[in-house]
Amino acid sequence: MSTNFNLKHLLGIRELSADQIVHLLDTAETFRDISKREIKKVPALRGRTVINLFFEASTRTRTSFEIAAKRLSADAVNISVSTSSVSKGETLLDTARNLQAMSPDCIVIRHSSAGAPYHLARACSAAIVNAGDGAHEHPTQALLDALTIREHKGRLEGLRVAIIGDILHSRVARSNIYLLSKLGASVSVAGPGTLVPAEFAGLIEQGVRLERRIEDAIVDADVVMILRMQRERQTDAFFPSMREYAVHYGLHLNHLSLAAPDAIVMHPGPMNRGIEISSEVADGGRSLILDQVTNGVAVRMAVLYLLAGAPGITEKPERQDVSDSTLRNGTVKKQRSRKRSLREEE
């Protein structure tokens, strides 16, 4: 495995190599322990500026990135851009250039338009992190999902993963399909509209198995991922009502009997209980939904650290963190053995 992590931005999983994904996951594993400490803080990004630029409301993702930045000692600045400010008339590129002129080290962007982070990346020398762009990608969600699977299954390769829900409009599904395919898992999907052939050409290329019925996708699955029914975006194109959706694509306990005996259940949140997932499943022993959230902070710490922090680690050799150097030079095995050495904040 390459230890040379050469990545300037995190725009999507599609552009990443399997090695880069594994390196991100390994780094995240290293950071997971920090949040379990009493002093949940390391000085890795001290003096760095991380801007959270959110054009869509998001409590949980923004909070996760903000906590990640602060636990790395970065200065975190939140910008919520409502449509009212956009009416002031500035283009996204001008917003990006202006923020860049304030010398941030990293800009985390969520935007309703697919591709918005790519625009930023062209205009900025700061590292750009895609926190969800339209129906395109949500790479840190896929990474935290993968970290959670690996934590519980020990691997991704060879696993069968079922993804249930509105695949076509889900950036979570898209990023997960890219990641799982790259790391050797096999993916089956079921949801409204999965029989529409044209839009799914790309999925089939990724080796994804399309099913019409949720049961067919779940059979023998090691992992069942339920997507959020995005009420707020839903048009009536594929199904007539919430109730209709719940009946056809809601995950219930009896579904799980079709899956592998030790199958795990995941959901990106926020959940619509009783619609895409029953409370028995959500709160059941197979559910890893809260582990996903915990791993989300670790993944975002890893992403911020690798993109915004790497070149600056050496500025104070006498106070340097052992694991900082292993993160840059060492092998993954070394990182793991030394992961407890990440120094606490002073």
Structure-token match 């030079």, residue found: 329
Q: Are 292 and 270 in contact (CB under 8 A)?
A: no
Near a second copy by CB under 8 A, which window of 20-28, 33-41, 215-223, 244-252?
33-41
Q: What's the token pair of residue 13?
A: 């999983």
Pick 207 or 270: Cβ nearer a second copy: 270
- Give the tokens for residue 8: 């300037």
Site string for a second copy, 276-305 (x = CB under 8 A): --------------xxxxx-xx--------
Give the shortest CB-124-to-a second copy separation in angstroms: 11
Cα(219)–Cα(216) distance, integer angstroms: 6
Q: Which of 14, 18, 19, 97 binds a second copy (CB under 8 A)?
A: 97
Interface with a second copy: number of residues (CB under 8 A): 67
Write down the least CB distance from residue 106 to a second copy, Å: 12
- State the amino acid at position 36 in one-letter form: K
Interacting residue with a second copy among 243, 252, 316, 333 (CB under 8 A): 316
Q: Binder to a second copy among 84, 198, 285, 317 (CB under 8 A)?
A: 84
* 343 interacts with a second copy by CB under 8 A: no
Shortest Cβ 267–a second copy spacing (Å): 10
Question: Pick from 95, 148, 194, 326: which binds a second copy (CB under 8 A)?
Answer: 95
- The nearer residue to a second copy, 41 or 212, going by C-beta atoms, is 41
Q: What is the DSSP letter of 3?
A: -
Which one of 20-28, 30-38, 148-156, 324-332 is the stretch in contact with a second copy (CB under 8 A)?
A: 30-38
Residue 40-59 contact track with a second copy, rule CB under 8 A, x = bound: xx----xxxx-x-----x-x
Element (H, E) at 223: strand 223-226
Q: How many CB atoms lie within 10 A of CB 177?
A: 25
> Using an 8 Å Cβ cutoff, are 65 and 131 in contact?
yes
Q: Are strands 264-266 and 223-226 parallel, antiparallel or unpaired?
A: parallel
Q: Which pair of structure tokens corresponds to residue 283?
A: 């709160």
Q: Is 59 left (phi over 0), alpha (psi -120 to 50) or beta?
A: alpha
* 318 sits near a second copy (criterion: CB under 8 A): no
| Among the listed residues 7, 18, 67, 258, the single contact to a second copy using CB under 8 A | 67
Q: What are the C-alpha distances in Å from 301 to residues 45, 60, 118, 287, 295? A: 10, 15, 21, 24, 10
CB-based contact 269:277 (threshold 8 Å): no
For a second copy, the closer CB: 219 or 271: 271
By CB under 8 A, residue 125 contacts a second copy:
no
Which candidate, 124, 122, 113, 46, places its Cα nearest to that of 86? 113
237 is a site residue for a second copy (CB under 8 A):
no
Q: Write the burial class of residue 101 (CB in 10 Å: 0-12 exposed, 13-18 middle, 19+ buried).
A: exposed
Under the rule (CB under 8 A), what is the footprint of a second copy? Answer: 35-41, 46-49, 51, 57, 59-60, 63-64, 66-67, 70-71, 75, 77, 79, 81-82, 84-85, 87-91, 94-95, 97-105, 231-232, 269-273, 275, 290-294, 296-297, 311-312, 315-316, 319, 344-346
